[in-house]
Amino acid sequence: MNKRSRFIIILVVLAVCFAFLWPSISWYARTPKDQQTLALGSLEKIKDYTVVKAKEESDKLIALAKANPETALDPSYDYLVKAAKKNYKETAKAYKAAGLEAPKTPEVMSVAAVLDSFTGDSALADLRAVIEGKYRDEILAAKKRYNSSVKLGLDLSGGMNVIVHADLDAALASQKKDNEVADEAQFKKDAMAQAIETLTGRIDKFGLTSPVIRQQGEDRIYIEIPGAADSESVNTIIMGKGILNFRLVDENATAAVMNYYRQNGILFNSDGKLLDPSILPADCEVMGFYEKDDYGLDQLVRGAEYIAVKKEIALDGKHVKSAQVSADQTTNQPEVNFVLDSEGAQIFADFTGTHVNERLAIVSDNKIKSAATIRQAINGGQVSLSGGFSVEEAQNIQKVLQTAWLEVPLEVESQQVVGASLGEAAIRQGMNALTWGLATVLVFMILYYLGAGFNAVVAQILNMYIMFSVLSAFNLTLTLSSIAGMILTVGMSVDANVIIFERIKEELKNGKSRAAAVAAGFDNAFWAIMDSNITTFIAAAFLSKLGTGSIQGFAVSLAIGVCSSVFTALVVSRLMFDFNTEVMNRKTMSIGWGVK
């Protein structure tokens, strides 16, 4: 390969690395803290925020237009001016199509002109939609940046992690008491999926910043909550039993609640308490009505976000014995059939008999999963729920009902809580060690290898840059131990340079010219470098397979470092030598004291 194509390859690698690194840079250095908090909130919270914000902004603009219609808008409203211009263009088009002369587009976009561009019945809604869209896009863009940036591990950011063990054998045993289990492996898989889903649902509701919940191995669940969290409440959430029950919907209270919600855009304060408790009768409480979105995540049902239900429980979930999804024989509509035990059947028969044509909600962990109308008194404990839902929704309801009898015992196996200020101290330590480690290594290389040492320095710095960007590209977590891995990589990757330089020195001593010595040095060193790095890589790759965080972080950065150091030593450093030989016409070599 000639120099130019090698140079281009290096530039491409650096550019790709920069692209990977950019989200991390913009998230940590260019996103203000309050934006970060918003972006880390749940989608539900973001939606509430943008709706309220749009309402505030539009009210402000309308008031301003009334008081002072000719005011020019602040540059921060440019997005609105743009939308207004588009509106005017479309209006003009519509007029033209109808053969009429279009009204003139105002030349100066004052407040009034901007607001006037929104016409028709939906003018206010349209205006709000534009403002909402702008805020939403901003926050979602920040969220995206966060998702593709390097995360700080708990030891650096503070926070807590919990490893929960799910006792699948106990779940299987209790299942076998009541029901047949055809496929035990499948049952365990399902039980595990359900345990994770239940935990995710509960933790989401807690409103924590970007919690991580994932399965680890066959029967463990790893939960990580960055920042700081109330460890006691988190434990209660994890260890708490699932609560499933049936409750009557209070239609009047629901209407009042929804009315309040539509007007104010918000129901609860930061503690989850109603802002205005007077809208609700004392025997009711408000809960969100949830459905699954396309990603299988809980989201509030649009248009019927909240439902007020009686505090009194109509039927406890423990009475549900089994549930199946099937299709109605005549309409082929999906339906959920569930069977109650004899005690439950009696309670249910009495209850449904007195509440015909009222709605009954299925409540799971304080979320409403379904609210269906009671058509008639249901006797005998065979209940069928149908109408208005898809097969997927039916399956979701079946899963919710399943939690009644399929309880997977969970046990906290390991828990780690790190204070945020402790994390900060760790960052400082790590950065200090990194800076000093790198600095001493680089100074040593220059002192020992003189001119060639400079090549090694450039290679080292690129090495660190590549390592950070790969960490960013794979969304890996940066921990103190991965910083340790980087520092070690610095030391070890200097090795590749040392092997090459020592070889070149030998060749020079044997009387070879600069160009020949460089070529021979690189050729002879090639396999030594490859073999030694491949074996180190094998060790690092294996280490990264061991489950726990600190070793993993260390091994991953070591593995990345091994790869990038081979690249910088064999390609970057080689190109620098060749450039000096062929372009700068250097005849001699500066590669150590007493070597010419």
Partner 1 sequence: MKKIIQFSKFFPVAVVLSAVIIIAGIASVAARGINFGLDFKPGMIEEIKIADAVLEVTYNGTATVSLETSDDGIELVVSGIGEENRTVLIPYSEVSTVSEVAAKINSVNGVSARIKKEASLPKEGLFVNSGSSKNLGEKPLNLFVADENSTVSADDVRDTLKAFDDVDVKEVGAASARSFQIRMGVTGDEGKTLQADANKALTDKFGADKVAFVKSDFIGAQFSQSLIRDSIILVLATLVLIFIYSAIRFHWDFALAAVIAIVHDALIMVSFISFIRMEFSTTTLAAILTIIGYSINATVVILDRVRSDIKVVEAKTFKEILNSALSSTLSRSIITTVTTLFAVLALFFFTTGTIHDFSLALTVGLISGCYSSIFIAGAFILAVRKNQKFQTIAANPNVSQFKAEESDSE
Interface with partner 1 includes 547 (CB under 8 A)?
A: yes
Query: Whole-number minimum distance, CB 30 to partner 1, in Å?
Result: 14
498 interacts with partner 1 by CB under 8 A: yes
Nearer to partner 1, 178 or 531 (CB): 531
The answer to the question of residue 539 lying near partner 1 (CB under 8 A) is: yes
In three state form, how does the secondary structure of 392-435 look?
HHHHHHHHHHHCCCCCCCEEEEEEEEECHHHHHHHHHHHHHHHH
Q: Which of residues 157-176 bind partner 1 (CB under 8 A)?
A: 158, 160, 163, 165
Q: At what angle do helices 514-543 and 549-567 cross, to 10 degrees?
A: 160
Nearest approach, Cβ of 34 to partner 1 (angstroms)?
4
Nearest distance, CB of residue 498 and partner 1, angstroms:
5
Stretch (H or E) spanning 139: helix 123-147
Beta bridge partners of 292: 298
- Residue 595 lies near partner 1 (rule: CB under 8 A): no
If the CB atoms of residues 34 and 294 are measured against partner 1, the closer one turns out to be: 34
Task: Pick one of 25, 492, 515, 563: the residue that binds partner 1 (CB under 8 A).
Answer: 492
Residues 206-225 that bind partner 1 (CB under 8 A): 207
User: From the list 524, 576, 579, 590, which residue makes contact with partner 1 (rule: CB under 8 A)?
Assistant: 524
Tokens of 501: 């330089």
Q: For residue 542, state whether it binds partner 1 (rule: CB under 8 A).
A: yes
Identify the residue among 14, 62, 140, 551 touching partner 1 (CB under 8 A): 551
Q: Residue 192 or 309: which CB sits closer to partner 1? A: 192
Q: Which is nearer to partner 1, 36 or 513 (CB)?
A: 36
Which two three-digit tokens encode residue 348? 């249910």
Please name the residues in contact with 14: beta carbons below 8 A apart, sequence gap of 6 or more: 462, 465
What single letter denotes the amino acid at residue 62? I
Count of chain residues binding partner 1 (CB under 8 A): 98
Helices (H) and strands (E) in the chain — how many of each?
18, 17
According to DSSP, residue 318 is labeled G
Residue 152, CA distances (Å) to 81, 220, 297 in order: 40, 23, 25
Site for partner 1 in 326-385 (CB under 8 A): none
Q: Can residue 590 be called a binding residue for partner 1 (CB under 8 A)?
A: no
Closest CB to partner 1 among residues 372, 492: 492
- End-to-end CA distance of the chain: give it in Å, rounded: 28
Interatomic CA distance for residues 393 and 372, integer angstroms = 13
Q: Which residues contact 149 (CB under 8 A, 6 or more apart)?
A: 23, 24, 26, 27, 28, 472, 475
48 touches partner 1 by CB under 8 A: yes
Q: Which is nearer to partner 1, 72 or 546 (by Cβ)?
A: 546
Residue 257 near residue 234 (C-beta atoms within 8 A): no
Return d(Cα 309, Cα 250) in angstroms, integer.
5
Question: What is the x/- site pattern for partner 1, positions 395-424, by CB under 8 A?
Answer: ----------------xxxxxxxxxxxx-x
If binding is defined by CB under 8 A, does position 227 make contact with partner 1? yes
Lay out the site mask for partner 1 across 21-40 (x = CB under 8 A, - = otherwise): -----------xxxxxxx--
Contacts (CB under 8 A) with partner 1, residues 245-274: 265-266, 268-271, 273
User: Beta partners for 310?
Assistant: 284
487 binds partner 1 (CB under 8 A): yes
Tell me if 538 contacts partner 1 by CB under 8 A.
Answer: yes
Which of 409, 373, 429 is closest to 194 using CA atoms?
409
> Is residue 430 close enough to count as binding partner 1 by CB under 8 A?
yes
- The footprint of partner 1 on residues 51-80 (CB under 8 A) is 52-53
Cα separation, 279 vs 262, whole angstroms: 13
